Amino acid sequence: MANKKAIKRIAISTGGGDAPGLNAVIRAAALSGLKRGWEVYGIRDGFHGILLPEQYEEGGFIRLTRDRVHGIAHLGGTILGTSNRNNPMAYPIELPDGTIEEVDRTDEIVRALRLHHVDALISVGGDGSLAISDALSKKGLRVVHVPKTIDNDLDKTDATFGFDTAVGFATESIDRLHSTAASHGRVMVVEVMGRYAGWIALHSGVAGSADAILIPEIPYDIRKVAQKIKARDQMGRHYVIVVVAEGAKPAGGSAMVVEHQKGKDERLGGIGEQVAKEIRAITEKETRVVVLGHLLRGGSPTSLDRLRALRFGAAAVRALDEGYDGVMVALAYPTVKYVPIVEAMGQMKHVPVDSDTIMTARDMGITFADASTE
């Protein structure tokens, strides 16, 4: 884990889906590196800038100066670009017969970075990028990983940047839907991102006073949602807000996958429409679906996410300066710690079903539509 070799040049890569706060990480890491006298470079679009440099007019490997990272901390997206396609560990190559074969191109990345005289890499990304960081580290490249996901599902860190921004936007959207749902006496089904964890759905649903929240950690029974709708009708409240995580699944069923191709992350979706269809069939209530989708990824990061990202970026440089290698920076309030990448891999941080937030929701009368007694 320790590597005291002197650093002269580092590179930064942002991979996977975008998240509010990426530019703040880049700014903090660049300024922290420049302060130490290091040269700082950015790799375009994940690792595409290394593997496909000919696609970029100015090259896929760009110098990050103070001017280049000036005034970017508040911006959404990433100035380097990102990609959740063409995983270099399973890179899709089309063969002469038209079939697709997946090949490992991580050796090419290591060779290219050495040709660029890069002493260390700061890789920013989610679980897929974490696995790539581990592979590169095992091949001799000095790597520090920064965890990134709006889903808040990465293990070994208290929180990830982008999550607070996503929850804030989802909550505001739910707030707006209350009035239109009440005006028309409708059921509004709100589908949010989160993959196989229900953090965004849970937090925004509780904060936004939803009536039902469906999350992957608690397989649902649609009849429980229908019971909630009928109970509200009997109280004279003829509208209902149902928040559904994209990875939610019925009891005995599985999550809905809309795309799974070689070299790409599995894409979930469609559960909102399915839940709405079943609600209409049982209750005969007018039902509408709102899929927030990529709106949760965009926009300026909140001050909390911005601060988390800045702390992560600076901590990644400190880790390198202190001789660390093969670690992930992780939030452990009130500090940032360094966790071996191998310890952070392979485990998803799910919502504990006995958590205080779940209990708070139940005490407030929010249903999770589980088969157990509520």
Positions marked active-site: 151
CB 173 within 8 A of CB 34: no
Those residues with Cβ within 8 angstroms of residue 346's Cβ, 6 or more apart along the chain or in another chain: none
Q: Distance between terminal CA atoms of the chain?
A: 48
CB 334 within 8 A of CB 120: no
Q: What angle do CA 10, 132, 347 make, to 5 degrees?
A: 125
Residue 167's H or E segment, with its range, is helix 163-184
Is residue 267 classed as helix, strand or coil in its secondary structure?
strand
Q: What does the alpha-carbon distance between residue 299 and residue 78 come to, in Å, rounded to a whole number?
A: 11
Q: What is the CA radius of gyration of the chain?
A: 22
For the chain, what's the residue count?
374
Write out the DSSP string of 322-361. Answer: TTB-SEEEEEETTEEEEEEHHHHTT-B-PPPTTSHHHHHH
CB 264 within 8 A of CB 88: no
